[in-house]
C-alpha cells in the first residue's frame, strides 16, 4: 500500500496512512482461519485507496476486499469479512475491540432512551454483573460475513439516519433473553436467561426480525404475522385499512381476507346504487399497506385471500401481472386463492366451476370453511338456481388461469381451506380458519372488525421462532430448545403491546405461537440424504415427531404452571386431539405411521390441563435468520453452494454450512426437475404441524422439452400437494438461467437472490 496517502479523520484533520495499523487489524481478523491471505486483502484494498480518504472508509474497504474473495475455492474469507465487520462495530460502540461491561452499556443506553428502562427496573446491578460474567463475546467469531452484515444492517439498535450503532451482537442476545424472562421468579430467572442466551447465541434457535430488532428497546410489538378479516361493509373495510396502517408501522407483515366483499354490480341497500366490486377496495388496502415503512427496516407488504369461486375471479387473478392498466391492476400486494375438495373434484372429473358473489348465496361463504358437506349442498343448489347471478367456467380453465398467473408472476398463492380447518388445532364450529398470512404459514381464527376499536372483532397475531435442525444430532436433542422457545415466546405475548384492541383480546384468549424449522438441507446433507427419497422421509418423520412432541409438551407444562389459554376449549388440543390424529392419511403411503413418543400420556394430560398455546408450529421462510446462523433457508433446498444475497445493504456471499466436507452431498434446487421430492418432505412435516408451511414450488425449464414447463406438470403438482394434505403454497420459482455469477475459477454460482424485504416480517 502507498504510505504517501493521507487519511482524513472524523474531526477533519489529516494524517499519513498507517499501513501497520491495517496489518494489525487484518492479523486479528485472520487469526486461526485457514487458507486466507492478508496480502490478498491488502492488495484488493490498495486499488481503491485514494488521498485524503476518510478513515471510516478504509475499514469498509477492508471488509469489501475480504468479502470479494469469498468463493468456492476460498470460502473462509466469509469469516474474515465477518470479523472485520465485528471489529468496526466494536470500535464504533466501545472505542476499541474490547467490549464494555454489560452494566455500563445498559446504563448508558437506558439513559439515552435507546434501551427500555424496564431493564434497569427489573434487574439489579448485581444480576447484570452476573450476566456480564456469563456473556461470551467470542461467539461473534462464529458469524459469517452475510450474518454479520445483517446484524449491523437490520438488528443492532442504531440511529438509522447516522448509522450510529449502540450495541454489539452478544449484548443483543443477552438482553433479549433478560427481557423475555424478566417476570420469572428471581430465584430461577437468571438460569432461564443464561440457558436462552446460550440457545439463541449459538444458533440452536433463530429469532424473527421484530424480536431481534425490537426486544430490549421501547418498541413493544413483536408479532411477525398479522391476519385481518374484512367484512362486506364500509365500516369494516375502513377498520381493516386502519388496522393495516397501525401494524405496518410496527414491522408486521399483513394477511388480509377480502373474500367476504360482494362482487361488482351487486345490489347495495335499496338497490338505488350498485356495488363497485373488490378492486377499488383492494386499491384502498394497497395504499394502507404502502403508507409507511416498517420502523425504517423494510417496506410494508400484504397478501390478500380470496375464494376461487368469487364472481370476480377472472379480474382478480390477473391483478399482479404486468399487463393491463393501473385502473384494473393492484400490483403492490400478493394474492392467494382458496380451494377445497369440490374444486379439485370438478377439475379431475372434467366438470365446471361456478362463480358467485358471496352475498348472493347466504351461508355459502361460511360453509366453505366450516362444513364441506354443507358447502357442497349450498353450492350445487345455487348452481341450479336460474335466478341467481353467476358465471360458469370449465374447471380446467379456472385452474389454468390460476396456474398461468402463478407461473408468470411467482406471487399468486394457494390455500386449501378444508385442510387448513380439518388438520388445524381449532374446532371450526368455534373458530374457523378463513385466511392465512403474508407468507402463507399461519392458520389462526379471525373475525371482521366493524370499527378500528371493535373489541368483538378478532385480529390474529402469530409470534415466530425456529429450531435449527442442522444442530440436532438425536431426536431427544429437541427437548431443551423446544422448551426454551415456547417459554420465551409465551412470555413475549404478555410483554408486548397491542395497537388494536381486537388483536390483544384474541392473543390473550388464544396465545398462539409459531415455531418453525431452519437448516433442513444441511440436516439432510450431513446424513447423505436427498429430498423425497424413502430414506430421507423416514428420518424426517422420526425427527419431526420428536420436534412436535416436545413443543406440545412444553406448552402443556406451561398450562400446568400458569394455566391454559382461556379458549383452550376451542382447540382440538383441549380434547386431547393432536396433529398426528388429523393429518391426511395418504401421507402413510410415503412413511408408515409410527408413534415413538409418549403421545398416549400427552393426550390424557391435555384433557386435564388444556393447552397454554392454541398453536405451536408454523414453518415460515427463513431468509434472514439463515444468514445470521449460516444455515440453509428454512426447509428449502439451497439454490447453489454459494448464494449471493442482495439487499439494500449490498450483495453478500453466503456459503452453505459444512461446505468443505459436504459440497457433494447437497441436493441443489435447480438440479431437481420437479418439486415432487420437496412436496413429499412437506407432506411428512405437515403431519406434525398444527398450522401451515410456506411451501414453494420451483422449476428449472432446462429439464423439460423445449425449455418450457408444461401446464400439465404445474397442475399435477398442485393436485399432489392437495392429495397429501397441503394447506398453503407460497412462491412459484422458475430458474431462467439469467444473472449467473462466477468466481475467478469459473465456477458457476447462483444468481443474486434478493432478500424479499416485503416478506421479511415472517422470514425470522
CA distances from 371 to 231, 423, 475, 692, 714 (A): 20, 13, 37, 20, 29
Cell matching residue 743: 468466481
Q: Active-site residue among 405, 441, 458, 623?
A: 441
**CA neighbor of 679 nearest in space, from 719, 646, 639, 649:** 719
Taking a C-beta distance cutoff of 8 angstroms, is the pair 502, 454 a contact?
A: yes
Pairing mode, strands 352-355 and 391-394: antiparallel
**Residue 478 Rama label (left phi>0; alpha psi -120 to 50; beta):** alpha
Catalytic residue among 76, 257, 439, 633: 439
Dist CA 457 CA 461 (whole Å): 13
Instruction: Report how far residue 198's alpha carbon sits from residue 192's, in angstroms, rounded to the nearest whole number.
Output: 10
Give 137: exposed, middle or buried? Use CB within 10 Å, 0-12, 13-18, 19+.
middle
Burial of residue 13 (CB within 10 Å: 0-12, 13-18, 19+) is: exposed
Q: Which of 437, 519, 630, 732 is catalytic?
A: 437
Give backbone dihedrals phi and psi of 300, rounded to 5 degrees, phi first.
-75, 155
**Quick check: is 97 catalytic?**
no
Q: Which of 227, 290, 220, 271 is nearest to 250 (CA)?
A: 220
Contact assessment for residue 357 and residue 266, using Cβ atoms and an 8 Å cutoff: yes
Beta pairing partners, 609: none
CA nearest to 204, candidates 441, 442, 473, 463: 473
C-alpha 151/C-alpha 607 separation (Å) is 43
Q: Is 462 a catalytic residue?
A: no
Q: Tell me the HSE value of 730 on the side-chain side, using a 13 A CA sphere.
A: 24
β-pair partners for 16: 6
385 is catalytic: no
Angle (deg, nearest 10), helices 55-68 and 38-47:
120
What residues form DSSP beta bridges with 352? 394
Catalytic positions, written as ranges: 437, 439, 441
Amino acid at each position: 500500500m502507498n504510505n504517501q496517502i493521507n487519511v482524513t479523520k472524523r474531526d477533519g484533520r489529516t494524517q499519513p496512512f498507517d499501513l501497520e495499523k491495517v496489518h494489525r487489524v487484518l492479523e486479528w481478523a485472520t487469526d486461526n482461519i485457514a487458507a486466507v491471505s492478508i496480502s490478498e486483502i491488502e492488495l484488493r484494498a490498495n486499488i481503491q485507496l485514494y488521498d485524503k480518504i476518510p478513515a471510516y472508509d478504509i475499514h469498509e474497504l477492508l471488509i469489501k476486499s475480504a468479502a470479494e474473495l469469498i468463493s468456492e475455492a476460498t470460502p473462509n474469507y466469509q469469516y474474515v469479512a465477518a470479523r472485520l465487520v465485528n471489529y468496526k462495530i466494536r470500535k464504533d460502540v466501545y472505542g476499541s475491540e474490547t467490549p464494555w461491561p454489560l452494566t455500563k452499556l445498559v446504563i448508558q443506553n437506558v439513559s439515552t432512551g435507546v434501551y427500555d428502562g424496564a431493564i434497569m427496573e427489573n434487574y439489579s446491578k448485581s444480576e447484570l454483573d452476573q450476566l456480564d460474567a456469563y456473556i461470551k463475546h467470542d461467539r461473534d467469531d462464529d458469524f459469517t460475513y452475510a450474518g454479520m452484515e445483517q446484524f449491523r444492517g437490520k438488528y443492532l439498535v442504531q440511529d438509522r439516519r447516522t448509522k450510529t450503532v449502540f450495541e454489539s451482537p452478544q449484548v443483543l442476545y443477552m438482553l433479549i433473553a433478560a427481557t423475555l424472562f424478566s417476570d420469572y421468579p428471581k430465584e430461577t430467572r437468571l438460569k432461564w436467561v443464561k440457558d436462552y442466551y446460550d440457545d439463541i447465541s449459538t444458533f440452536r434457535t433463530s429469532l424473527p426480525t421484530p424480536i431481534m430488532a425490537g426486544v430490549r428497546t421501547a418498541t413493544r410489538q413483536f408479532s411477525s404475522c398479522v391476519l385481518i378479516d374484512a367484512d362486506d361493509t364500509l365500516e369494516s373495510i375502513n377498520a381493516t385499512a386502519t388496522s393495516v396502517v397501525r401494524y405496518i408501522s410496527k414491522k408486521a407483515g399483513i394477511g388480509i381476507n377480502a373474500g367476504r366483499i360482494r362482487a361488482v354490480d351487486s345490489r347495495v341497500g335499496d338497490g338505488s346504487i350498485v356495488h363497485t366490486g373488490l378492486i377499488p377496495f383492494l386499491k384502498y388496502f394497497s395504499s394502507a399497506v404502502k403508507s409507511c415503512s416498517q420502523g425504517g427496516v423494510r417496506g410494508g407488504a400484504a397478501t390478500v385471500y380470496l375464494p376461487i369461486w368469487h364472481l370476480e375471479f377472472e379480474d382478480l387473478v390477473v391483478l399482479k401481472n404486468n399487463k393491463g392498466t393501473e385502473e384494473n391492476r393492484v400490483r403492490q400486494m400478493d394474492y392467494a386463492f382458496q380451494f377445497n375438495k369440490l374444486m379439485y373434484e370438478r377439475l379431475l372429473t372434467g366438470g365446471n366451476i361456478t362463480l358467485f358473489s358471496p352475498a348472493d348465496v347466504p351461508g355459502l361463504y361460511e360453509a366453505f370453511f366450516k362444513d364441506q358437506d354443507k358447502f357442497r349442498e349450498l353450492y350445487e343448489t345455487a348452481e341450479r338456481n336460474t335466478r341467481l347471478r353467476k358465471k360458469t367456467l370449465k374447471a380446467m380453465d379456472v385452474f389454468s388461469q390460476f396456474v398461468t398467473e402463478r407461473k408468470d408472476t411467482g406471487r399468486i398463492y394457494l390455500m386449501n381451506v378444508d385442510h387448513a380447518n380439518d388438520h388445524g388445532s381449532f374446532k371450526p364450529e368455534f373458530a374457523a380458519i378463513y385466511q392465512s398470512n403474508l407468507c402463507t404459514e399461519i392458520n389462526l381464527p379471525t373475525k371482521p372488525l366493524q370499527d378500528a376499536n371493535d373489541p368483538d372483532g378478532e385480529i390474529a397475531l402469530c409470534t415466530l421462532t425456529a429450531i435449527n435442525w442442522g444442530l440436532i444430532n438425536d431426536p431427544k436433542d429437541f427437548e431443551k430448545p423446544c422448551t426454551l422457545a415456547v417459554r420465551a415466546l409465551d412470555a413475549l405475548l404478555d410483554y408486548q403491546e397491542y395497537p388494536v384492541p381486537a388483536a390483544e383480546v384474541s392473543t390473550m384468549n388464544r396465545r398462539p405461537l409459531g415455531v418453525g424449522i431452519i437448516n433442513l438441507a444441511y440436516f439432510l446433507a450431513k446424513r447423505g440424504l436427498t429430498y423425497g427419497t424413502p430414506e430421507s422421509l423416514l428420518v424426517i418423520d422420526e425427527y419431526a415427531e420428536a420436534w412436535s412432541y416436545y413443543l406440545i409438551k412444553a406448552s402443556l407444562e406451561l398450562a400446568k404452571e400458569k394455566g391454559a389459554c382461556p379458549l383452550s376449549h376451542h382447540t382440538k388440543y383441549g380434547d386431547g386431539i393432536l396433529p398426528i390424529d388429523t393429518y391426511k392419511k395418504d401421507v402413510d403411503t410415503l412413511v408408515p405411521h409410527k408413534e415413538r413418543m409418549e403421545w398416549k400420556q400427552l393426550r390424557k394430560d391435555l384433557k386435564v390441563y388444556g393447552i397454554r398455546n392454541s398453536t405451536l408450529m408454523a414453518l415460515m421462510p427463513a431468509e434472514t435468520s439463515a444468514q445470521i446462523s449460516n444455515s440453509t433457508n428454512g426447509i428449502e433446498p439451497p439454490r447453489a453452494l454459494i448464494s449471493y444475497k442482495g439487499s439494500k445493504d449490498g450483495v453478500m456471499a453466503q456459503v452453505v454450512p459444512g461446505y468443505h466436507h459436504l459440497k457433494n452431498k447437497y441436493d441443489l434446487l435447480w438440479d431437481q426437475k420437479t418439486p415432487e421430492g420437496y412436496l413429499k418432505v412437506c407432506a411428512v412435516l405437515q403431519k406434525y404441524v398444527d398450522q401451515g408451511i410456506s411451501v414453494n414450488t420451483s422449476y428449472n425449464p432446462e429439464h423439460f422439452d423445449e425449455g418450457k414447463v408444461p401446464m400439465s406438470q404445474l397442475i399435477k403438482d398442485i393436485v399432489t400437494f392437495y392429495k397429501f394434505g397441503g394447506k398453503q403454497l407460497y412462491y412459484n420459482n422458475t430458474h431462467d438461467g439469467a444473472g449467473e455469477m462466477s468466481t475467478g475459477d469459473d465456477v458457476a454460482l447462483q444468481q443474486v437472490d434478493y432478500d424479499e424485504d416485503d416478506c421479511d416480517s415472517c422470514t425470522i
